[in-house]
Amino acid sequence: MTTIAEEIPEIASYVAGEWHPGPRRSADTNPTHPKETVANTTLADAALARRAVEAARAAFPMWRATLATARGDFLRKAGDLLDARAEQIGRDLTREEGKTLDEAVREVRLGANIFRYYAVQALDPDGETYPSGRPNLFLYTKREPLGVVSVITPWNFPACIPAWKIAPALAFGNTVVWKPADLVPLTAVHIARAVLDAGLPSGVLNLVLGKGSEVGDTLVTHPDVAAVTFTGSNAVGRGLQAKAAASGKRVQLELGGKNPAIVLQDADLDFAAEQVARGAFLATGQKCTATSRVIVQRSVAAEIVDRLRAHAESWTVGDPLDPKTKIGPIVSSAQLDSVLRYLEQARRDGARAVAGGERAGGPLGDGYFVKPTVFVDVAPTNPIAREEIFGPVAAVLPVASYEDAVALANDTPYGLSASIFTNDLATAHRFAQDIRAGVVKVNQETSGIEYHVPFGGVKESSSGSREQGKAAREFFTESKTVYMNFPAPTARA
């Protein structure tokens, strides 16, 4: 692959064991330096997407019959290759997506760990035995793979989200057609190469680089696709769900969030502010679990605002390849425009930015940079308090009591992640019960998850299933119940 001084790579889809240039080319550009091309991509069309599904379907019987130990060996090797290539992949990830180099390399290493984790999970028990009410009857269940799984992943975590979908799908015997977001094709090719270089047989993993508007319907509605797993926006996800469900396909959605962090007056305010800032500003706020609502007990609201302002103003915004940089660019021009519209709308609706609130320019040139932003005087109906922004923006909302804080935190159609900062153990346990969220944090930022435990949201943040950990087996397999009768031997005369 490339560095800035090297030739720009030409990348393409991988289908049925071969790299297939598509009919159209697209430039993959750097959000830090938008005139810089990171890679030239040839985009797949619907015909190539159909070939990918057909290749996965043809490979399924062989992969299903492959011993679990062998599947685990492939995944373990893939994880080791990702680890060995983490610096190179992380650098290209930074150049095409914009997160800091440290964040990018750590994400690739997390993806490597996920592959190795599912290498072990492939050997976990795949069924249960049950007592029967009849003599000589042995009852048991076993879990079996679904078939072809379409994996559709977003641009904000282009290494670890594909890993936590592809690795369990393969571990449990499914074949995969993967469509990554079109903003991060080079990272996707890196991930695919690591898996393929581990020796994966032809057709088991197919990579489709293309626009969702051109290949999405094929990957969702093709009769040979058994299941679809998607992470992305609510609008796209719900539309996908309707199309897939119409033909009885299994669907897994992880969607948006409007994640609250509650800070009570008994909290360690310095620690709480630092954690909230991390959740709101790191990765430029481009996380579905990002902290976007800071619900603070009124008696300490001014102190929290002062501390958040200090973090926002002191954290360096700049080139994410520079080790001094803490906040990189927004991923694209379109996403930048969206964030700036939210900032302007917030001001029109009466909110006041005590830090940031505007595009970062000057020595940053024409990159897509936004200053870390803290808003106060925010009405609960203001769009920055209701809608997912996907930018480094925190809205501070003062409340009188714990009860008011939880009521406001739950007043959202989303329910992905939520946190509370308190030194009272009883309150912490009460919060874990009262909050409507799939992920609950106590004295920790809303972002950041571990791969061996279930992940997912409630309400409009999810379709109800869970990813990661042992929960992944529930989605990527189906249960078969077996009645094994052993008739009593006939008595001999």
Q: Please say if 160 is a catalytic residue.
A: no
In whole angstroms, what is the distance from residue 164 CA to residue 450 CA? Answer: 11
469 torsion bin: left (phi>0), alpha (psi -120 to 50), beta (else) = left
Residue 254 designated active-site: yes
Closest CA to 97 of 184, 37, 173, 212: 184
Nearest to 251 by CA among 229, 235, 277, 267: 229
Burial classification of residue 114, based on how many CB atoms lie within 10 Å of its CB (0-12 exposed, 13-18 middle, 19 or more buried): buried
Q: How far apart are the first and last CA of the chain?
A: 80
Which three-class secondary structure string do you get for 224-248?
CEEEEEEECCHHHHHHHHHHHHHCC
d(CA 217, CA 158): 22
Which residue among 103, 214, 288, 467 is the active-site one? 288
How far is C-alpha 480 from the chain's CA centre? 30
Residue 471, strand partner residues = none
Torsion of CA 440, 443, 444, 449, to 10 degrees: -40
Question: Among candidates 473, 282, 485, 259, which has minimal Cα distance to 387?
Answer: 259
Between CA 46 and CA 23 the distance in angstroms is 11
Six-digit token pair at 203? 């057709």
Q: Please give the positions annotated as active site.
A: 254, 288
